[in-house]
Structures are given as C-alpha cells and as structure tokens.
Amino acid sequence: MKKTVFTAPMAALLLLSCAQAPQEKGKEITYTPQAPYNPPTYVCYKAPAPIKIDGKLSPEEWDAIPWTTDFVDIEGDKRPKPLLQTRAKMTYDDNGMYFAVLMEEPHVWATITEHDAVIYQDNDFEIFLNPTNDTHNYLEYEVNALGTEWDLFLSKPYRDNPQVLNNWEFAGMKSAVYVDGTLNNPKDTDKSWSVEVFIPWSSIYQVARGKKGPVDGEHIRTNFSRVEWTTEVQDGKYVKVPIKGEDKIREYNWVWAPTGVINIHMPEYWGFVQISDKVAGTGETPFVTDPNDEVKWLLRNLYYRQNEYAATFGEYAPFVAALKPEELCPAEQAKQISLFNTPSMYEITLPGTDGNVWHIRQDGMVWASKK
C-alpha cells in the first residue's frame, strides 16, 4: 500500500471538528432517523454432553441449554408477529460452536439440491457470524429442508461493495436436518423441521490469525434468519403465492435480531452472543454489555449520515457540524468527535470509555486504537 506523508499544516487542515468549522452555506439536510437499536443478547454456555449432529434436539444434549428469544420480522415492530414460532440454541466445546434451531412448519418442502445455490429461494435457515465484531469479514450459512447448503464469506456488507467469496467453505463443518413430518408431501400436515450445525473454531476465526477460540466473556456478533414463502397446493405441488393482502410474491424474513429494513446484511444490528466458561445447567452467567457499544453506535450513526450527505451532495461532509451530531449525543460529547477527510475517504474518531479511541471509516469498518 502506498504511503502518504502529510506535513503538519496539511494534517491540521484534514483534522476538522464540530467546534472548528460551521456547516457550508446552502447545504442543508434533514437526516433520516435510523431503526431502533436494541440487539438481543444470549449467553453461550459449554455443552453439558457430547452432541451428535443428527438434526434432532435430543433432551440429554440440549435441554440444559437456553433458547434464544423467538424470532421476529426483520422490520421489527413495523410488521406483525411471525405466523410460526422459530427459536434457536447455541453451545460450544473446545473444538467449535454448535447451533440448533426448531421451526414450526405445517408444510415442510424444499426443491434446491445444488450446493452453493441461492438457497433462500426455498424456505431456509441461515446463520450469520461476525467474530471480529467490526461489521467486516463475516460468515454466512444457509440450509434448506433437504440439507442443501450455501456457505460464503463477505469482506463487508453489500452496501459497502464487498468481496463475496461464494466458493468459500466452512472447513470441518457438520450439519443435519430433521423433519417432524414428511418432506414435500402436501397431503398431510407436518409439525416442524429442525437443524443442527457444528462449526469448528478454526473456521469461525479464519480471519483472526492466530486465534484458536474465544475467551470467557467474549462477544460474537450473531444473527439468524428464517426465510418463509407463502404457498398453496396446485396439481399436488407447493406453489409460491403472494402473502395475503399483497399483490407480488415475496418471502417472509423472520430473524433473531431485526434490522428495521429488509436487509440482513447490517451486522451492527446483530445480536450479542457472550461466551461463558460455565457448563450449561450448572449456574447462570450475567450478560455484560460492552461499555463502548454506545460510542460505536454513535459513530455508526455518523457513518449513516455521511452516506446520506454524499448521496445528496455528491461528496462526503467536510465538517463534523454538517452531520449535526448534537441531534445524536450531548454537546460535550459532540465536541470530542473528529473528522479526517480526503476527496474520496473519511475517518471519524471518538474517545471511548476504556482509554481507547474508536474509529469508523467510509466503508463502515470500526476499530479501536490507543490514545
């Protein structure tokens, strides 16, 4: 990477804060409010017994492990509660992480059999993991009721023009599907389908070189999604039809952590999974909120506003004041926000609560550095 060295006067020009420069005249903008930020949380305990990956949530393996909250519509309170219950469980051992999901379903069907095809064209279950907790370098897994899988790696969300590695694989992963009923049989009524997935730590932490596994108290940003199509039986087969009251065919998106819009690829809204060194069933570990989460969320809102400013005026805001931080935080905190600008890039910084400085840049990457 080519390095650029700035002289002191140039660096001074690049460092702009809300206290140093007013908004440009003639460039007024009213920013769009963001969806409420309230990620669900979950404490992930050690597995109390060896888990056989067969798709069945066997009592001796899973009963001591808590459920997540029920899935909701991806748009949150703007949409009705899902028609069918979906909930998941997580646990781990020295080798990796285990996921289980139970989905109510009166008609279990699937058609796709090609690996790494677009599985969500069927009803499916999906796992999203951001082990680096920076909204970049995250992992996606999808599976349908036939057990057909799609796993991929994204360098960053689609909004930020990522590299999407469709041929990427979860090395060492194991999975299985169990149908409590019959598959692709419209003549009867099914009860549910369930999925078990094991992912080795070596696959989860591929992007964190040298890291072999999590430590007690660590957070892994996680989300789950269930895609559900509305169907009716025509000539003995399931056929997709519009949701009642709508004209066009579309899917339901039921998730653990809603993003407020029909877009799961917003890792900043995903849930927090906290690793506990306790064995499931031997006691409870309280969830501990990241003390810098509010700082990171403020930076994320400034990132949203930079994108909106650029879409309106064709350039990023040159001054912090143009982003109207006083609408987002107390005036004293707004004074601590700094903006480094170039014609095509920017970086915004804000001191955290732990002695670090937190950063966000134009592609949404967030990270900390020492003061």
DSSP string, 202-217: HHHTTTSTT--S--TT
Estimate to the nearest angstrom the gap between the alpha carbon of 4 and the chain centroid.
Answer: 34
Tokens of 301: 């809102």
Q: In sequence order, what are the residues at sequence separation of 6 or more whose Cβ sits closer than 8 angstroms to the Cβ of residue 229?
A: 122, 123, 240, 249, 251, 252
Whole-model pTM?
0.92
Question: Residue 253: its pLDDT value, please?
Answer: 98
**DSSP-assigned letters across all residues of 63-93:** TTSPPPPPPEETTGGGSPPPSS-EEEEEEE-
Q: Dihedrals φ, ψ of 215, to 5°?
A: -110, 160
212-240 pLDDT, tens per residue?
999 999 999 999 999 999 999 999 999 99
What is the widest separation between alpha-carbon atoms in the chain? 77
Tell me: pLDDT of 348 over 90.
Answer: yes
Tell me: pLDDT of 354 over 90.
Answer: no
Question: Residue 209: its pLDDT value, please?
Answer: 76
234-249 pLDDT, tens per residue?
999 999 999 999 999 9
The CA distance from 122 to 294, in Å, is: 37
Tell me: pLDDT of 358 over 70.
Answer: yes
Handedness of CA 341, 342, 343, 344 (dihedral sign): negative
Tell me: pLDDT of 15 over 50.
Answer: no
Burial class (CB in 10 A: 0-12, 13-18, 19+), 218: middle
Domain 41-279 falls in which CATH fold? Immunoglobulin-like (2.60.40)
Query: Is 37 or 343 the better-scoring residue by pLDDT?
Result: 37
Question: Residue 24: its pLDDT value, please?
Answer: 53
Residues of the chain with CATH 2.60.40.1190: 41-279
Question: Residue 9: its pLDDT value, please?
Answer: 36
Tokens 């999203």 sit at which residue?
128
